[in-house]
A and B are shown apart, each in its own frame.
Chain A
Amino acid sequence: MFFDNWEMKEFLSRFKFKRNKSGFIGVERECFLVFPDGNLAPKSEEFLLSLDDKRWTYELSACQVESRTKPHKDLSSLKLELLENDNAGQNNAKKLGLVLIHQEIGDENMPLNVYPDSRYIKIVETISRDRLVSACRVAGTHLHIGVKNIRRAIEIYNLLVAHLNKLCDLGDHSNGERLRLYKTMAINWNPVVYDNEKHFFEIAKKQGFVDNPRNCWHLIRISIHGTVELRMFGATDKIDEIIYWTSFVKSLINASGISI
């Protein structure tokens, strides 16, 4: 019992909630690098080196890169940062003779080069080729909603889990193909309603993300950044669409009466 409590505290302490960022929204956008002939380009290292911008980072597939925004309360400032990232990324890609494309699935025969990061290398060693192909092929848009503490996080998480199907439909541009691939890659994709913190901890133990919550692959998850993260939206080249998703999620939370 004592060890369980201690372990649970340890687990929950991994989540860094920030009261002053409650209600703020951040976005991560994955996209593919493409050669002018249309083939996917495993060039993320060169791209990131050349861009040298902390808002851009790598993904498992070396054909993908990801841009992130800071957390924003106002959606216009969020939109500006999305535009800034997009333009900086496109301009950099052009200099390298590449193009950035925001499509939610890559070709079946795409290169399977993996970015040389130790975590990814370990993952790749343990998964089947099918799962690797799936992991490389999918590109999404992740929304992060800042919450002030674990209780509020569970409340908002549970609220959004109830709308999972609607949210999946809203963010789908491939007739469900991206989510099908995602589910091949992430066996524990289905977010579970949590009764309380203890239940959250128990699920983490059972599904193997208690030591590293980043290994929780639920389509909705409570992230270590102190946010509720929505991972069901596909990649899109329309920033207004991302802003719409954000507005929609905000409206669900507002309508529920839960104050962020």
Chain B
Amino acid sequence: MDKKKEREMQTAFDEQAREVLSMPDRFLKDGKDLKVGFESEVAIHSDHLALNELEFVRDNILRKVPDFTDVELGAAQIEFRTPPVNISSTNGFCDISDIYRTTFQRLVLAATESNCSILRIGSNPFLPIKNTPRTNKLKYQLVPDFYNKNRPLQTDTIIGLGNHQINIGDAAVVSLFQSFQVNLEARSFEDACDKMNRSFFIAPYLLALAANSRYLELVDTKMQDLRMIGWEKSHDTLMQDLRLVAWEKAFDLRTPNEIARGHALRVGLPERYFIDLSDYLNRASRFPFILHQPKVALNMAVGMTWLDARVKFIQDSLVVELRLLPTQPKIEEELMLALLYLGRLIDSQMRNESLLPIEFVRENRLSAMLYGMHRKMWFLSGESILQKLPYKLGVRREIKRAICGLERFGLANLLDKELLEKILINGSPSDRLSQELDKKEHDVSVESMKEALARLEMLTKL
């Protein structure tokens, strides 16, 4: 996009941001409800399909399940979601859980009819990284291409903690990544900003439990959750997220001068906590718009704010979205994580807890991505004292706090504590998958991967 069009987008964005920010009352809510929605990305998989057939088959499946579903960047990907539901009402959480499960079951059925399975994992281990098939939509072609074209040659896009490393230097690598998102309605501008800030520091604790993207092209990277590193490396425009290790590397376009000046990426964590929504929108507008659609400039910039948490403006609602977590093997695990997140967030707001300093969040976040539960993390004591503790020790205190938060809305009994304990004992989905494949070391075949995924219910077919 040329400079004139970028300027038009900037002007349109500024006008739209000013308009939104001038109407705080439009978004005010009384705070009695706890309105949430879930979104998850999954992928179809079949040995019988060529890469160029994936999109056609995927679209056929979506035609059979049109409600609450959509396409995503990857040609094999499907997004499914729930409508917003007030989970503080009687049966609210059961209702949203039912909708979520039912939609997924419909997808599994439709996929089975097309001789496909549904893959519930954070990074698709079967598809190629380079020139992986994308959904045929203009934005899905233009955005990754922009990052591929503008990434400095020096950017190191090789990742892997083990003997085998892989190159994730194609921004379309993010089409292999799948995440699970929790959306929560805020009651005011201040509340939205506060929830977003608190989400940044809560999310790494959850990611360590939930890590589920370790393999790409059947190679064990030994990273617990490589998505954001891939986003960041492949999409480094000024220096951080599309979705995690791989996101971050693939999206890094910053020049040496920008790095020296401390420029951040549009992916991951911001340089500091946000002061207010004006501060947040100001940051969102600092990155290239890439697409020329002035009428929706604000929504586009927010849509490409690939931070671990962000605030969306949807009609008269301010929606805080937690984006850091990968798709889980089972719906139940996602529901449990959602409750942990909501409970911990409510507790944090109720106690007006100090925010963990952002550089410590940055460490926790990267630690969760690389080593999951197997490394110490920083926690805040009740007296706001920084403590570096073994993860499993510190997280138990976090869980207690989450339960306190859930009690406030009468939701504590819905948290599946047995499942949570199992995960703490048996490990994250990445831990479990690597244990299944352990004996194979680096020579993982398509067959052994399929078998392991099926045993862990991450590859589902009726």
Q: Which A residues touch B260, using CB under 8 A?
A: 173, 236, 238, 241
Contact with A along B345-379 (1 / 0, CB 8 A): 00000000000000110110011011000000010
- The interface residues of chain A, by DSSP majority, are classed as helix
**Interface residue from B156, B360, B369, B388 paired with A75 (Cβ < 8 Å):** B156
Chain-A contact segment, one of B27-35, B159-167, B331-339, B427-435: B159-167
CA A86 to CA B155, docked complex, whole Å? 23
Q: Which one of A2-10, A132-140, A243-251 contacts B?
A: A243-251
User: Is A170 touching B256 in the complex (CB atoms < 8 A)?
Assistant: yes
Could you say which interface size class chain B belongs to? 20 to 34
Residues of B contacting A130 in the complex (Cβ-Cβ under 8 angstroms): none
> Which of A79, A241, A248 is in CB contact (< 8 Å) with B366?
A79
The chain A residue with its CB closest to the CB of B386 is A91
Closest CB-CB distance, A22 to chain B, in whole Å?
A: 12
- Give complex CA distance A246, B256 in Å: 12
- Looking at the assembled complex, report how far the CB atom of A101 sits from the nearest CB atom of chain B, in whole angstroms: 14
Contact between B245 and A76, CB atoms less than 8 A apart = yes
Nearest CB of A to B430, in Å:
15
Does B154 count as interface, using CB distance less than 8 angstroms? Answer: yes
- B307 CB to closest chain A CB (Å) equals 16
Asked, given contacts A76-B245, A83-B363, A248-B154, whether A88 binds B388 with beta carbons under 8 Å apart, the answer is yes
Which one of B154, B158, B259, B359 lies within 8 Å of A83 (CB-CB)? B359
Cβ–Cβ < 8 Å partners of B318 in chain A: none
- Assess A77 versus B161: contact at CB under 8 Å? Given A238-B262, A247-B156, A248-B154: yes
Closest to A170 in B: B256
Contact of A87 among B160, B223, B378 (CB under 8 A): B378
Q: How far is the CB of B221 from chain A (nearest CB, A)?
A: 8
Distance (whole angstroms) from the CB of A226 to the closest CB of chain B:
19
Q: Does B176 contact A (CB under 8 A)?
A: no
| Distance A236 CA – B337 CA, assembled complex (angstroms) | 38
Task: Kindly state whether residue A211 has any CB partner on chain B within 8 Å.
Answer: no
Across the interface, which residues of A come within 8 angstroms of B386, CB to CB?
Answer: 91
Beyond the given pairs A80-B367, A238-B260, 18 more chain A to chain B contacts, judged by CB atoms under 8 angstroms and listed by A's residue number, are A74-B159, A74-B160, A74-B223, A75-B156, A80-B363, A83-B363, A87-B360, A87-B363, A87-B378, A88-B388, A91-B386, A240-B239, A240-B259, A244-B154, A244-B254, A247-B156, A248-B154, A251-B156
**Residues of chain B at the chain A interface (Cβ within 8 Å):** 153-156, 158-161, 165, 223, 229, 239, 245, 249, 254, 256, 259-260, 262, 359-360, 362-363, 366-367, 369-370, 378, 386, 388
